[in-house]
Structure 1
Amino acid sequence: MGADWFGTSPRRLEPIDPERAAAELQDVLSSAGEAGCHRLAGLAQARPEIAAFLAGAMSLSSYVRDTLRRRPQMLEPLFDVGWETRVDAITDEVRAAWSVDGVTEKSLMAELRRLKTEAHVLIALADLAGVAEAATSVRLLSALADAAVGAAIDFLLREAHDQGKLNLPDRDRPGEGSGFVVLGMGKLGAGELNFSSDIDLILFFEADAPAIRDPLDATDLFSRLARRLIRILSDRTEHGYVFRTDLRLRPDPGSTPLAIPVEAALNYYEGRGQNWERAAMIKARPVAGDFEAGMGVLKELQPFVWRKYMDYAAIADVHSIKRQIHAHKGHGEIAVRGHNVKLGRGGIREIEFFVQTQQLIAGGRFPELRGRETVAMLERLTERGWIDADACASLTRQYWFLRDVEHAIQMVADEQAHDLPEDDAGLERIARMRGFASAEAFSEAFRASLKEVESHYAALFETAPQLSAGVGNLVFTGDVDDPDTLQTLSSLGFERPSDICRVIRTWHFGRYRATRSAEARERLTELTPALLAAFGRTRRADEAIIRFDEFLAGLPAGIQLFSLLQSNPGLLQLLANIMGAAPRLAAIITRRPHVFDGLLDPLLMSELPNKAYLAARLESFLAAATIYEERLDRLRIFAAEQKFLIGIRLLTGAIDAARAGKAFSDLADLTIGAAFDAVVAEFARRHGHVPGGRAVVLGMGKLGSRELTAGSDVDVILLYDHDSDAEESDGDKPLAPSQYYARLTQRVIAAVSAPTAEGVLYEIDLRLRPSGNKGPVATYVEAFRKYQKTEAWSWEHMALTRARVVAGDEGLAAAVADDVAAILAAPRDRARLLKDACEMRAIIETEKPPRDGWDLKLIPGGLIDLEFIAQTAGLLGELDGDTRTTSTAEALARLSPGFCEAQARDDLVAAYRLFMGLTQVSRLCLTGAIDRKDMPPGLADLLLANTDLPEMAVLEAHIRETAKRVRTVFDAVVCGK
């Protein structure tokens, strides 16, 4: 039989559906027999425990299942050699793939993809079998990536040499003396790649290297090679992809070429290098090309990265850049469902940052603290006495546990995902992959892990030198500013310390209702040092404190708030972040301080704001309201508070932008539905009912696609039906059906949109109804059907792709859903639809040009382009799957291969995720458009947190590159260019 596959019996994996798993295994084994792999075909009889394990693995991982269906023969070598030996052999084949006789770029791409897929599946199986620890998996994945990058670079260099563009010292060792420096960054540099990781590279070249024929042409030459490198590794083909490759960590990516001269790079780091770039360079490692030159670059960068003095000042800056503004204490339980294992509270990033911060502080003096690997550096830090042995053991244990969880998430479908599933089945799947008896047992262990990491992370910033009550004088008595206090305020980050003194004297003199009592003033006096420190960290401290002052002025009382903030530093920092980063949220709590009460709920951050959660809260909140006007007012109060709390979850990272969009939309569904029901009941009291009468609210736009933002209007159409012979309603004041529903609609609009003391529920837009503003406000359902079938323009059918019923009669709702589906499924002229869509986009671009590069809706390649692509594909039947979707994000993810290539589809999905993520955050924080010249620094941090990018220049470059890719796809699939 030869060597054992795993060297030991694999862990038993319970399939999701045993019968289906058995059938899928049999399909794979039968295919193996047809491919001549007879030992594998007989696996069920010869090695039943391996066969059972494979069935479980394929049931839990669609990626493993689909790959083995296509290529079962990749398992056949395991009858002769162990899995790790085979992976090492594959890595060697990858490394040598460039040197095969007759190799071309196309054949190299195919071979790298074939080999990488085989190694990838074997690593996944060993991980799932419980025989490959996470440390082994990340090492093998990193070695595989090194080999793939090296093969691609060597191929490109040798080809350039053969074409006379380079003069390599040794054609058989292309990298040596080439001057081409390829640095692996991040997890690749550290040798810690995750299962579906991107690889971060920085490309430099030595302009005076012997291989370079013309230094003036070198930038263009190596930048062209860089673009081809990305294509060789990243492009999705029929064989898959090798590694998604990212070059955005290079110096000033918005204005520099893909490959940069070493001298220019060193000048940049010396003069303009940021602390986040110092932190990034800790993990930098030559992975391909000219290794000697690469080591020379890192040696030159040592004074930039490793400073001789104890660099405590770097903590605050790196901390901010890492978007971990505080240690997240005091926010109650941590949610398991939907939790981001990488960036969330208690996650992998907190452990990595824990280590990096200590390295930046001490690495200048102690070279042994300059290593790249996270766990190895935990051990070195312990040896040097920077952390204790318990912290080292705890963080090491939880680091590998969390990496195991991350791998399981990514092994399901080979996606670069870090969020745990939100549904029961998905969580159960992850639990089984990690060997837990149940989702509950896994959740308990996962939550305990996060808490353990969080406690160490919080302790790091409690003990690190930072702003505190003892930094200097803070005296606010009398009418004259204390000079030492002014100096203290300046050191805390306030630019107008005298004005701040005046504001704080107002508090202490009891001029607000919240500070009139002696006890309140006493609590506020004790709180002031911590409060000023927290606001100082917002990086626009003066504005933040003025907003807090406005908030304080409107409070009816202050003792409870001051006591709460004093005992809850996390909540104090959250309040400071709102005041400093989110003018819109600050304005909400200033006008309506009661919304802040929702933050007192200890379960706030652990409860996902899904429809069931919001519905239960709404039902409870409306229970005591029986009068019509009171019910509407309570709806407005509820909606305002829940919008605020959803926003806070997004602000703190408890939910991501996609979940926020669903939550805002679910809230709109529920509150508009409740308002609609209240209006229908109240209207019927006076005007009765129309025989057979029923009505629904059809949600359109971002309401229909469940992608609302914090400040979105809602687009709706009101549709009604009644008995064909109905002449008027049966109330005290009867009305004809058309008049009845027109007035009912006006009442609904007033109930939802009219400003009251409690604000408005939503601004309603009815312009998407048939005939637009010229048509009646309520539409008879038969007229709607006829209009859509005979008169509607292409853009109206495109808009209809996002339509769904959000409120009203269930029977009519089902009928309207069927009507909409039938209208959308009707055959249509493909060429005409695409021509109309292309022309409409051109008109929009002419009549409503984008304000600037941050106008993510209107920029070429922005949200409108993405929506048009999704809508035209939906109308042309070019979405995979049988079910209709109103979601733009889902439609883009389901674009059929016949409509656009897999790589283009992936680019569109990533672009929509990026643009909607940025839009969600900016709409949450700002009342108007983003002004790049006057952006609150705290908002910049939030935007970076949403994209996991290090600085705004990198983000802006990423937006431009992403929009360019989208516009290229739009031109190809819609405009046929």
Structure 2
Amino acid sequence: MHQTQHVDTSVPAALQPLLEHHREQVQPALDRLATMPDWLSPQLTRALVGSDYLADQLQRHPDWLAALIDSGDLQQAYTDGCYAERLQARLAAVDDEQVLHRELRLFRQREMVRLIWRDLNRLADMRGTTAELSRLADACIDCTLEWLYRRACQRWGVPHSRPDANGQRHPQRMVVLGMGKLGAHELNLSSDIDLMFTFPANGETDGERKNLDNQDFFIRLGQKLIQALDNLTVDGFVFRVDMRLRPFGSAGPLACSFAAMESYYQDQGRDWERYAMIKARVVAGDHVAGDELLQQLRPFVYRKYIDFSAFESLRDMKTMINREVRRKGLEQNVKLGAGGIREVEFIAQAFQLIRGGRDRELQQRELLNILPQLPDKVGMPEAAVTELTEAYTLLRNVEHGIQAIADKQTQELPEDDQGRARLAFAQGFADWPALQAALEQARAAVSHHFADVIAPAEGEEMQDDDLRTEWLALWQGMMDDDNALDFLREQGYAEPVVALKALQDLKGLRTVQMLQKVALERLEAVLPPLLELAGQSDNPETTLERVLVLVQAVLRRSAYLVLLAENPAALKQLVRLCSASSWFAEQLAKQPVLLDELIDPRTLYTPPNQDELRTELRQQLLRIPEDDIEQLMETLRYFKHAHMLRVAASDITGVLPLMRVSDYLTWLAETVLEAVLEIAWRDLTEKHGTPQKTPGVPCDPDFIIVGYGKVGGIELSYGSDLDLVFLHDADANLETDGGRPIANAVFFNRLGQRIIHILNTFTPSGILYEVDMRLRPSGNSGLLVSSLNAFRDYQHKDAWTWEHQALVRARVVAGSPALAERFRAVRQEILARPRDENELKAQVVEMRTKMREHLGSKPVEDAPAVFNLKQDRGGIVDIEFMVQYLVLRHAQERPGMMRWTDNIRILASIEHEGLLASDEVELLREAYKGYRAAGHRQTLQNRSSVLDEAAMREYREDVSAIWQRLLEPGTAD
């Protein structure tokens, strides 16, 4: 017989009597051991100090300890399916319901001894413990359901669906959904399990004596399942079962059909039910049908749009929990109290609800899979995620320590000295003060981050309360006009009359007067900080008018107001950028969904490179069915508008220089064009098959989009249209290889039309790009799509000099790489043709003169003179024409001149070849950049490219002088 060790020096003196008592309880179990492994004594000590339940179970079942040691189960984690296999073997010979109940309880108790032992001795980490507990619950539910289903079918018949169109009836099985911690594989040591029962379709059983309606059958089956798991018998219970999360709660039927589930969530589902459904998982029954149901319910949980109302809903839920905490005195509850487990869950699930519809990676159930994504997805600092993860792990471990004591569902920290001492020991802390300090630090960190995400910090709220009250009094008309004007003046408004009128005009709108209570509350939450920030800007009244246009645009979609109220940083960015750019404000008013882009300054001011753009767009398009052209078009538009907004933000704030702005805008256009070509190609080939390059050889795709002008020259601005030419390389006498073949020429013409349709069509999100096709062979009278050979022939025989000038800035922006190479060869062939210098000069000057006459500024009587950045003498087009002239004049003997399509790098080639002096090239380069920067600024203020006549006079004079010397040496300026 093994002797009890009376004193364990590793255990505090206060816990020695407890340890002695538990050792006496388990002595019969120790006596059955053939040998005592070295690791047993310290592990047993920690287990006995930490758990009365474990000691009680080993006293009741003294054979279990030896069995657990001999099998190695104490020292190893179970693999997936292990619980189910062991329980199925245990139930294989069971044919009585009472015996079923006993076997389930004994199985669960034996496994709980093992799990508590491993948890207290840290043989399993927190995630390992919760995952195994969840798998144990899954096995108990599924094996029990299977056993009960067979018995129910023997008694009442097999449930079948109603006959389908072919007269077939299909057998039905129940689906059990696990909610909450069970659904997320996060079950704790003494958790209840939240379940829902459902089944695919209505119908009836095929019983011999009496048929039951399917719902009646599955309600009875569900009742049997609950009894088997939940009933407290002499052997205890398996799991406490909570069914209150089902549709209509306790008042709803215990089981309902898929159709009833879908109808309920579509028509009556509430915000807290969205929150609950995040973690829903099929845990038993018909897994295939259950997964289909969850897929059908996904739009209820995850909105397609960015859903910022989730913040308000979660705050409301937290407020209710806080009331309950105060009412019941639960401040020491590690789950519900301030800084507890629930707040960490709310932080993660807030972002899941808000963004999960747009980002499938956030559609996961387990909290510790979500937290690591938050730095990348929403810009949460890595340090914050680390603090939350560590705090959550500590809190869950402490929760397990509390529940291990007596297998009770509680999260209350102990108040007695012995309880505190044993919890500290079980958690590996020197004493209670050490554990308490760690808990306080963890909970303070959680509370801080929870306040940042879900609610303003209480101190800040109180500090700003008085100012907020005054802003609301102003808005609600509780101030007389004199006091209102004085207050606005104090808040930075130089023209308070203008600001007050703007506010009064907004308040007088019928839309505002008809707002429902919730929407009005949201408006009044965002107005005070918005008005304060506008008053602090350089142009308060202008800024206020711009942001109020946006407010007016979102009044009927007040979730956007919640976004701004809940994200002070986003509101600050909004006011800052609208103050700097009327174009920016206008874009947001047209597309309020883009407000989401303001939340993360890290992405707002860091536009992605071209490869990242392609990857991001590809990922967004992959989420949409290929045949849903309308949704594909909307996604393309959102993508383009969002990234254009990012570039503008970086431009406005000076983060990006001019050349990089144009690079990004050009990359964005190219990325969109590549996707549009792919969509259009796929759509047409599905209908007609693939066009044939030569007999039996399909095109792949042997089609290119050539960009001219600004897109060709990598110089796009915000409002630029796209000058495009479409070319193919297929035999016009062949046709496509599909079931509905059409001639190659017809196919490519339709492809061009489809591309223009996707780009030009006005949808609720606007258009992608305006497209100009006038540079194609023969202009508007020519074919929409030409073959490369026809294009080459046209350029050699019929093209005007100005068309060859345009070719200087032409490059392939999407399509077949092989055909792109052939196009580049044709381009160089045309540009390098020998030309008579005098004739070329005359033609270039003649075209430039016509353009100035038609497009340049005209003097207006009694109006100040102006300067058109592009078209007036000495402007942008003069520089472009000089560059194009030099390329056409010298490309034959200097092929390096044809390499680039953008003016800045062509100017570098001109300098390298010695065609202009370095100081002249530098002047043209700086003038060109200066003009384009001014054009960008004008666009961002929604102004034309016409400036005051005195603007940039020195640049204009110098550019004109070089023009004169290079192209018109014999004429006076």
Task: State the TM-score, normalized to the length of structure 2.
Answer: 0.47
Instruction: Give 1 or 2 for the bigger CA radius of gyration.
Output: 2
Relative contact order higher in (CA < 8 Å, ≥ 6 apart): 1
